């Protein structure tokens, strides 16, 4: 009987660990998505800054 209870306990611990692993997997996917979103936002801001600087340089050259 004790072995049976021990086996059931181990089974539930295994299920719990599996659930935790799945949870961590989804957290990792979520963090990856956030990182990609930040990377895209950064690229957009860099491109906007490049455009702004080109326009400023063109305006400065035209004023000289």
Domain ranges for the chain: 22-64
| 25-38 mean pLDDT | 97
Q: Which two tokens stand for residue 51?
A: 């455009």
CA 26-27-31 angle, 5° bins: 115
Q: Answer yes or no: is pLDDT of 64 > 80.
A: no
Residue 58 has pLDDT above 90, yes or no: yes
Q: For the residues 4-21, what does the mean pLDDT come to?
A: 94
* CA separation for the pair 4, 24 (Å, rounded): 30
Instruction: Give exposure, 39-55, as e/b (b: 16+ Cβ within 10 Å).
Output: eeeeeeeeeeeeeeeee
pLDDT in the model for residue 2? 85
**What pLDDT was estimated at residue 20?**
97
pLDDT attached to residue 19: 97
Q: Is the pTM of this model over 0.85?
A: no
């Amino acid at each position: 009987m004790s072995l049976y209870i021990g086996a059931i306990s181990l089974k539930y611990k295994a299920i719990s660990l599996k659930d935790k692993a799945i949870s961590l997997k989804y957290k990792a996917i979520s963090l990856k998505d956030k990182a990609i979103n930040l990377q895209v936002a950064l690229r957009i801001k860099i491109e906007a800054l490049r455009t702004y600087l080109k326009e400023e340089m063109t305006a400065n050259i035209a004023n000289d």
